[in-house]
Structure 1
């Protein structure tokens, strides 16, 4: 795991990074259902799904979010902390054998109104499938330490 100090001033609006892909498996469906208790037929019953308009099992949105965000965990930044996610949307279904990856774009930033020496950095998170279609969107908010004067001690 890579450790990098990236301060508020270092984040550039428009900077894009993209993760490697990960293929979704039936095991992912089963494990996620077991963790969450969500055994709805949309996710678990292949025969029932085959008779529906969508024709096959659909991944849990929370699983796509977890895996998509997990793919982004490639570096530890000791001067930044996740403040949460906003605007989460499940845009298209994900199915067994789809491959997803995540594209992250720094969208905007501003000094944190409650914490001296800290800034908020907003990052657009788009989870894409193998067809380059967006399947999930969320906005990640970081609290990031500023350099120099006003920075927390």
Structure 2
């Protein structure tokens, strides 16, 4: 994959990841890794009486899988060679992710801006996590600092 530089990206550019189905094993492993054994994720009987009616994935599990799915796009493959820094994360949990849901990620450039240093720029990506029904279940913005093409400087 050729490098993707700040100068190659324009507002409105977008990429879609392949899908991934969320499994019970994902939830159990994430609970063990994170130490988050909250009943909404681990107790099927308890969840029958909740608003959701069944167990849901941890919000941060969804975010983690979304991050991994993003790496399977040409955008992330290209900018992995030119990224200087991830500058932040503004994330919203819009709906539940259930066991057996299949999610994918859409990455869209929503802003580009130059910096005071001529060798770099800022790109803001909107990352949308979408389930098999077309519902956005998580969404957020991630500003990234990228190198500019050497010939531009």
TM-score by length of 1: 0.90
- Where does structure 1 lack aligned partners over 5 or more consecutive residues? none
Distance 2:138 2:84 in 1: 22
CA 82–148 in structure 1, closer or farther in 2 if over 3 Å, else same: closer
Partners of 2:87 and 2:60 in 1: CA distance: 15
Partner of 1:143: 145
Q: Within the alignment, does 1:122 sit opposite 2:120 as a pair? A: no
Q: 1:136 to 1:109 in 2, by over 3 A?
A: same
**Residue 104 of structure 1, aligned match among 102, 107, 112:** 107
Unmatched runs of 5 consecutive residues or more in structure 2:
none
Report the CA distance shift for 1:24/1:84 in structure 2 as closer, same or farther (over 3 A).
farther
| Greater fraction helix | 2
Please name the residue that 2:20 is paired with: 22
Output the CA distance in 2 between the equivalents of 1:136 and 1:85. Answer: 16
**Contact residue 87 and residue 145 of structure 2 kept, 8 A:** no
| Residue aligning to 2:9 | 11
Deviates more, 1:69-78 or 1:131-140: 69-78
Matched, 1:57 2:45: no
Instruction: Give the Cα separation in 2 of the matches to 1:85 and 1:100.
Output: 23
For residues 83-102 of structure 1, the aligned pairs below 5 Å read 83-102=86-105
Q: Which has the higher strand share?
A: 1
User: Does the Cα contact within 8 Å between 2:127 and 2:139 map onto a contact in 1?
Assistant: yes
In structure 2, C-alpha distance between the alignment counterparts of 1:22 and 1:147, rounded to whole Å:
34
Question: Hey, what's the Cα distance between the residues in 2 that align with 1:61 and 1:46?
Answer: 17
Aligned pair partner of 2:82 in 79, 82, 90: 79
User: How far apart are 1:150 and its partner, in Å?
Assistant: 7.2
What's the secondary structure of 1:48's corresponding residue? helix
Given candidates 46, 61, 69, the residue that maps to 1:48 is 46
Deviations 1:80-136 (A, max 9, x none): 2441443200000000000000011111111134x4411000010000000000000
Aligned residues: 148
